[in-house]
Every structure is written in structure tokens, then in C-alpha cells.
Structure 1
């Protein structure tokens, strides 16, 4: 209406003068404001509600339907169709200015009264050929938080896409014709390959060529698993990978054979199973049946033990009394259901020639088969030892039982010098001529004689285990001790000697220095060791002698017939004044001799020479 009245009013204003023109302009502004307010009120009433997250996105808190709801001048009610809904904003509240569209242009889709970047303005971008729009949308909105709803779209030249990369474990279910390049909008549709599946069954994914790139959502196809294939009783399977195209093979434990459950199924189909694309195993779980060997018959004159005939079972063969087994005594059931080895035979038992026995008569043998008997008889001067009176019997196992006897020869009594042989004990009867085997002798030696070793000889089948001898007795005691002397000896046997020697300072005055062990006694008289004495010392005139004992007691030595004891000390002194000794002042008695020997002498005493420095001295030195 306003657009129609505007040209007419301008003409009237030109005809009526300036006053009329001003009046007409005021009328036009009134009508324009009224129309804008009506459009704004209608736009606010048709505005969609705010988005749930608008409160945390910086939207104004006051909502409205018309400008009057905002209550203040300079504030209007704006419709944000993208985020905030109808909210109160200032007239100058704008979003950031938009740049010009290169290779395209902008179209304002909002109300006519809004500027390009006013709150509530809707801008649509269009591109000029041959350019196309680049961005997630061609329309953006200035929101109540003074931000554009999307980045500014751009116009770019159309680009081709190279063939798309292969997606693992997928197949292409729909695609354009094969070409080196694909235009924007061309589409490939992918699905999981057989044996693979995604988290959502029957999911397909499209790849769309957009501005030279393939735009698509990821798809993950995992291999199908058939799960545990199951095991037969008494068997197992190999390979623990249960995924698509994997195979498991079955085997049975020892003693069992693999068979299929169905008669129509081949053994190869149930022994090896494959995981199919539908997640199920091919074939069926096989069975493991026990392997058994046939029953065995008893051999002639024998028998076989009755028991199991499964794999690894063992049977034993035995023969009746008087027969022996020829061949293997046991047989085992093999994995192929047959018995190993061959059937043994039972033949009449023969113990063979009887054992030879020394010192026995040669026996006459009429039979060596089962229950045959042989009796042994010993030669004269031999003793029978054994069970069953020397008789042996052929047994069912081919042995002569009991063990053959022994004919043990007598032993001749040995002659023992300086002794006598008795039988068994000290008071036993004398042993003469020959004695039976196992007889033990007791040997008694004559006086002053003894056995060489403690031995009781025993007759062992004509031979003595040893023959003792009687030898002169040893001296059981040590040789006598000697005071102030030492005894050296190296044994106390017969004819061993002991040698005596006196300590230093002592000498043997009687007795013998050597004693001999004879028939258990030391023969001879041991020596007596006494102290050695030193003789009188002849001294020159004027010399007197003093004897000094162990305790330092001095006694003048004046009697020549008096001798000095060992280690006694003599001191020499001069008689009278003015005399001095020349020589040693003391001597000691050692092992019967004085050390040092001889006697000192006394000479008249002379003064010592006066020191030289006593007679002469230098000036200034005292």
C-alpha cells in the first residue's frame, strides 16, 4: 500500500510547495513505521521456539512476541529461527559483517526492514556457473547471540574424484560405470563381504563425490565367528580359531576310532569342519567309539587270562603244571584292533641235567622232566649240607628244587709249634687227624708264648680259613723309668730294645744303658743317673775362693777334697789391700768341668792414668 501511495504523494508535494512536501513526508513515515511494526509483530508471533541448548549459547534471556513486550525504547523483538527464538535485542545489535561472495551472490531472505547483518536476518548464497557451493548449507542466520549459525559458504569450481579406495572386508553393491574420474554426486554403496558383519545387520554405507573428495561414514566389518564347534566324548579338536573359513580337525584319544554320526556323511566331512559365512560349522560333531580286539582262545595245555580287550589291554599266557611256555607270555591289544605277537606254545617241562656237586658220587639219572627226583651222596671224609636230605625235584618252572646240597671235605688238623689245637673252645677236646667242615679250632700257646693274631680258624670244605702261630710274648708294659734320665724305644715286641741316657749334668754310675724285651719281660737293670761334680781349683797364692749356692749363699772353699755340684758358681777374690785380680772373677761348674777353666792371679794394684784433659786446659775454659 505504501509503495503505491509514495509516487502520488511526491507529485502533490511538488505542486503544493515545501510545506505540503514536509506534511506529506511525515505522513509517509507514519505509515511506514506502522507497517514495519505490523510486519515485526507478525514475524515474532510466527517465530519457532528456542532450541534446548539456547540458554548455554549466549541467547538473550527475555523472550517476546511484539516490541511492546521488551518495555524499553531502542529495543525490539527479533525472531532468531536458528537458535534463540523470539527475543528482545537492541536496534543496533548486529552480527559481524559478511564478506562478498566470490563467484556468487547473497540473497536476503529475512523481513524487508532488517539490514544484512541484523539479528533474525536470513542470508542465502548462490553460485554462478560453472561454480558450485562449498559448505554444509547454503543458508546462514544471524542469531540472537550475535553469531552466524554457520560459516560463510563459498563458491568453488567443480572438482572430480579419483576412484575410491577399497574398504577392508567389504563389497560394492551399487556403483556408477567404471571410469578414471567421477563427478560430484556420483555414489558408491558398500556392504560387508560374505563372512563379515557390522555392528548393525544389513548396514550399507554410501560414498559420495563432493568437491573432489569422497564423503562417507566409516563402516567396520568384523569377521564372522562360528563359536566353539563342540568336542566328542573321548576326543578333541585342533585349532582354536573359530572365525570364517577356518577349519578344525578332530582326533580321538588312544583306544578310540573316529566315526561320523550319520551313515551318509563321509569321514572326511566330519573329521574336518569349516566355519561358513553364515556363522555355522559345516558337517556335524563326530563320535569316538572304543576299539576292541577279538577274544583269545586258550593254547593247548595252557590258558590265557580273561580281562579287557580294549586298546593297550594286556593278557597273560600260562601253562599247566609240568609244561613250560615257549614264546611271548603277554600280548597287548593294538590301536588297529589286533593283538601283537603270536600265540605261545606249552611244551613239557624239562629241568635238564642235575647240577654237579663236588665231593659227591655221580648220580644215576632216569628222567629230567617234571617231578623227576635226584639224590646226592657224599664221598667219605665229606660232610653233607643241604635241604631235603640231599634230594632235589624238577619243578614246573624248570628248576631243580631245593638247591643242590654241598659235600664239604674234612680238614687235616695243622701242627702248631709251641701250642696246641683244641676243638671249639678253651676247654674243648684236642683236635687230631681230620675234623669235619665248619669245625672251629681254639689254639692254646705254651707259657711265654702268644698267638700272632687273635684267630679262630674254621674248616671250609677241606681248607682252613687261616692257621695261627705261637710266637714269644711281647712286653705289654713300657720299660722302667729312670730318674734324671730318658728312655728311648720304638716298640715293645719280643727282642725290641730300650736305650737310656742321663740328662745334662748327670752321669750313670751303675746299671745298664740298654734293656731288651724277652718273652714278655724287660731283661737288664736300668741305670742310676747322679749329678756330675767339678774338682778342686788350684789357685796361686793370695787368691781365695768362695762357693755360691743356688740361693746366693757364699761359703769359702778351702778344702781340696770338697767337689762342687753342677751349675755351682765359684767367686775369686784377692787377699790383702792393694791387690787386684787378673783374669776371670767367676767360674761355673757345667757337666763336670769349670767354665772358664783355670784360676786368676792377684797383682799389685796400679792407679789408672790421669786423663789428659785434667792436666791441660785452655784459657777461658774451666
Structure 2
């Protein structure tokens, strides 16, 4: 083995005494020459001779494709197929999401790939990988993660709002609470390096600056010059404010409104009342006093003096000059009257009697500025009274029959009592005083009547007249006299006033006239004072 026959495998001795074929010999076996593969080396143990073993190795970066060894066989052929050295590939690389990869020789052995992330992302893993002989890349596939900055904390008295939390490119805006202003940038952005732009701002309380006092006035602030503090302006007494009375510190750091002024107080011009005059000591300025008086025959209703107050208004009530009035006069009994201006001041009233009556007293009376009438109440006197017809038991004795001024006295028999007045007089009105008495066997009665009447303003002239008529209707049935019924009247308002006493009038006619002559007092209602007086 290891040799091969060269020549004829068999020979035959021919007739010509020659061997057929060629002489045979055994020659050592050799295989054909083989070459080492490209990018590789080959080492043979016996060159091309039989039994030689050739070992093939590839250069670094190349991978052997085929048998690593070939042997030269007895047949002179190499075992196996010729191997090749092919370049090693590690497989294609992929770009990470949000990044890219750049390789020097694609995926071939020795290729170096550099990984980068897009802006705003950071690489997690190897930033480079190399294709090894093993056909594998060094390291692991990196990833690109979104860059994040440290979370921002809200400054004191502020809050921060971010568009995307603390992620890359998130824009955060700082806003101070009401009453504070931001010092520093109001916006910060998360950068690709994981840091925020700018510095952390802070909030500073808003102030508007201290306000100064105004001339002739002062200022009071609720919270000095801080935000939302309200300052109130006040003027000294006698001065009023023109402009804003209050100002407020706004978010802008400025005061609302404008500085007011204190002007001297002036009241509206006063005009004297009709039928009156007025005198002021300082025109219409603060503390000026005006006194008001009315013309003759006019009474002042309202304030007699008014002062210009600090609020620009006049004290007291607006005065009015009202024409003075007297108590209305009644027509004399059996007569009439005519007044030029009713019961007003300056009015002149003339009186006249009916036929058959003559005037006694003033025939004219004038209403004075003091509210009273001149003269006295006139009377229309009749010349005689109607003759009396007494009962038979009654004895009558008259001084002048039934003529005006005649006095008649009455007596009863000893066993009877006189009921009624002991005397009667024929008055100028043609009426007998008292009532005609009678003789009766009964006790002699006496009584005292006292009337308390309200003469205050709450009654009024009309009702006061009705009160007097009511008293007359109560008195009329009684026998008036010292030994019979006596009457007294007290009128009250602010204070009590006795119109006449029990002893003053001893006949009915003069009593009724006295009631008619009572004048309306006027004033406030003080009933308790009148009762205590009685």
C-alpha cells in the first residue's frame, strides 16, 4: 500500500519470445498538488506522498468551509473536497428605537458599530459593538430611553405647571399665587443633558409703596403697602374729600385710583324764606351760621338758625314763614261779622247786630302779629226778655219787669224748697240767665263741675271748638249759682292753665260766654301734668 503499479499489470510470453506489455514496477503513490485556500494556510505531513495529511487553517476573521484535514490516499487522491475560507459575518445590526447605528464594515468580522440616540434620549447599554471571530457581536443591543430631568418643586407661594412632567423638552411655567410676583424666569425647559434651563425662580410679595398723607387730611391702611391692602383717606373736620376715598394695592404693584384732595366744605347756598330774611356770618363755608327771621305778621316754622356741618349739609330744618293766625271769631249772638282776611294776621273784623239789638263792646277787632285779637268780644243786646210764667207757689220779684238788666228773685213757701236758681237776669241777648226755678218739697242739692280739656296741637282748631260746644251742652241743664252748680275749666298742653275758677261765674249766660271765649292754647300733649296739677 502506498505504491502503485507502473507498466502492464500482466504480461504474456509471446511466440516471438517477447513479453507482451511493458515492464512493470511499483512506484510510490503521490497525490496531485493541492493549494492552500485563499485567506488560509495548509501544512502537509508528507507533502503529496501517500499517507500525507494536510491540515488547513483560515486566517483570523475567516471561517473554514469544508474539511479541516485532507489525506493522500492509496489511489493518489485527496480525501474530501477542497475547503474555502470565507469571511466571518455577525449578522446585521438594528438601530435602537429613537436612535441609529453606524458600522465600519457592515456586519463583517472586525466591523465596529457605533450607537447614538436622537436628541432627548440617552443610550442604555454599549455605545459600540465589534463583530468577533465567533460570529457574535460584543456586548448587548443598547436601547434609547427618554431623557428625564429631576422633578421641579413649586417655590413657596407659587405653583409650577409642566407640559410633559419632567420628560425631555417639557416646558414648565411658574405662576405665583395672588399677591406675589415672580422673580426670575417664568419658564424652564428640560434639556437633552437632563438639566433644566435657567435657575429656580421665587415669589416675592407685591408691594405698592407707602402712600403719604394728603394736605388737610390723613390716610389709614389696612395692611400697609402690601397687595390687596385698602387705604382710606379722611379729611380733617371742615374739609371734604374730592376723588377716590379708598385705594387698593393691585397685582400690578400699583395703587388703584388717584390721590384725592381735601377741599374746604361748603354747603349749598341758602335762600331766605318768603316773607323772611336771613343773615350769615361766613357765607356758606363750614361752621357758618345763618339766622332766619320772619316779617311782621309771619311766624317762623322750622329752625331759627342753621349751621353748615362738616358733611356739607345745613343743620336743622328748612324754615318757613307762615302768616300768623288768630283764633277764629264767632258771630255775636243775634249779630254777624265781616273779616277782611279771615283769621290771618292783619285781618280786620267788623261786627253788626240784627234789627232790635244794640251793640255793646268793640265793633271792630284786628288780628295782631302775636296771634290775638284787639279789643273785646262784642255783644248784641236785646231790649227785653220773654215774660216768665212761674208756678203759683213760686213768688217772683223783678227789679225792672222783663227789660234787659232786670233782676228777678224767687222764693217758695216755708214748707217747700226752691229747686233752681234764686235769681234770673234779663241779659242783652234777650235771654234770661239760669232756668225758671220750681218749688218742691225735696232736699237742696249742690255740685261742682271741673272740666279738663286738651289744648295741644294734636286737637286742632275744629275739634277744640267741638270740645267747647260739648261742655256747653253738659252745663246747660244745670242751675248755675253759688248755692247750686259751679263750673271751672282747666286747659292743658305743655303746661296746665286755669281758664276760670268755680267762683268766677254764678249765672248760666256768663258761664256759657266764658266757655266760648276760651282760646286755643296749642303745644305738646302732657296729660299727666294736668292731672297732677288738679
Identify which of structures 1 and 2 has the higher relative contact order when contacts are C-alpha pairs closer than 8 Å and 6+ apart. 2
Where on the TM-score scale, by shorter chain, does this alignment land: which range?
Answer: 0.3 to 0.5
User: TM-score with structure 2 length normalisation?
Assistant: 0.38
What is the TM-score normalised by the length of structure 1? 0.33
